[in-house]
Amino acid sequence: MSLPHTLILHGLGGSGPAHWQNWLAGELAHHGGSVDLPRFSSPDEPELSAWLDELRSHLAAMPAAGSAERVVVAHSLAVLLWLHHAAGEFDEALRVDRVLLVAPPAPDFAGEPLISGFLHPVLDPTVVRRAAVSTRLVAGEGDAYCTVPQAKEMAEALRVDLDVIVGGGHLNIDAGYGEWGAVLKWVRSGRTPLTPR
């Protein structure tokens, strides 16, 4: 089975070299997969409009629909970015097959001024289904940016499946998420539910 084309989207500050997103990109490339791991402009002081433009340019650069499965994996702030993208003007050419939204900040999270411009995305299942054939949400228990009840509310509002990773925190390197085999399996085969590292 051929690997999908995978677009991996980082959150605030980017993903460091030990982060599972970089590990995932390396594993996919090692197995012959096509991977795009862009670094958004001003990752430490993000601007929604700039990141949206950059996201859409990377989506437009993906292989044509039907030539390869198109997959997006977003972490943290990139989850809110994806939701803003989904609620924007629809372009069929930018629609993807599968999206994994990992460790989102709560949509009204007030603890980080740097992400204030990304807050309060539209939580509309119609636009999420318009942007991707299928979408899945993954949250870590004990995440300082989003409680499990908040993640459940988000999943219910979007009408998407939710995996809760026990003890997962923000599902980043600080929580021990360097290598994460379950996310690689999901990219390769759509295997669910997502499990701890």
Sequence ranges of the domains in the chain: 5-189
Instruction: Say if residue 189 is exposed, middle or buried (CB neighbours under 10 Å; 0-12, 13-18, 19+).
Output: exposed
CA 27 to chain centre: 17
Can you list the alpha helix ranges (DSSP code H) found in the chain? 20-30, 48-60, 77-87, 125-131, 148-158, 181-189
Per-residue pLDDT averaged across 75-85, rounded?
98
Q: How confident is the model at residue 2 (pLDDT cuts 50, 70, 90)?
A: confident
| C-beta separation of 167 from 141 below 8 A | yes
Check: CATH 3.90.550.10 for 5-189? no
Q: Could you give the percent of the chain with pLDDT greater than 90? A: 95
In angstroms, how far apart are the furthest CA atoms of the chain? Answer: 44
User: pLDDT of 180-192, one tens digit each?
Assistant: 999 999 999 999 9
What average pLDDT does the structure give for the chain? 96
* Residue 31 CB coordination number (10 Å): 10
Per-residue pLDDT averaged across 85-113, rounded?
96
**Res 106: pLDDT:** 98
**Res 66: pLDDT:** 82
| C-beta separation of 5 from 63 below 8 A | yes
Query: Is residue 182 classed as helix, strand or coil in its secondary structure?
Result: helix
Q: How confident is the model at residue 42 (pLDDT cuts 50, 70, 90)?
A: very high
* Cα–Cα distance for residue pair 61/169, rounded to 1 Å: 33
Minimal CA–CA distance to 171: which of 184, 162, 161, 183?
183
**Res 1: pLDDT:** 55
Q: Could you give the percent of the chain with pLDDT greater than 70? A: 99
User: pLDDT of 143-189, one tens digit each?
Assistant: 999 999 999 999 999 999 999 999 999 999 999 999 999 999 999 99
* Cα–Cα distance for residue pair 119/191, rounded to 1 Å: 30
Q: What is the pTM of this model?
A: 0.97
Q: How confident is the model at residue 127 (pLDDT cuts 50, 70, 90)?
A: very high
Q: What Å distances lie between residue 42 and 12, 48, 58, 175, CA to CA? A: 9, 11, 17, 24
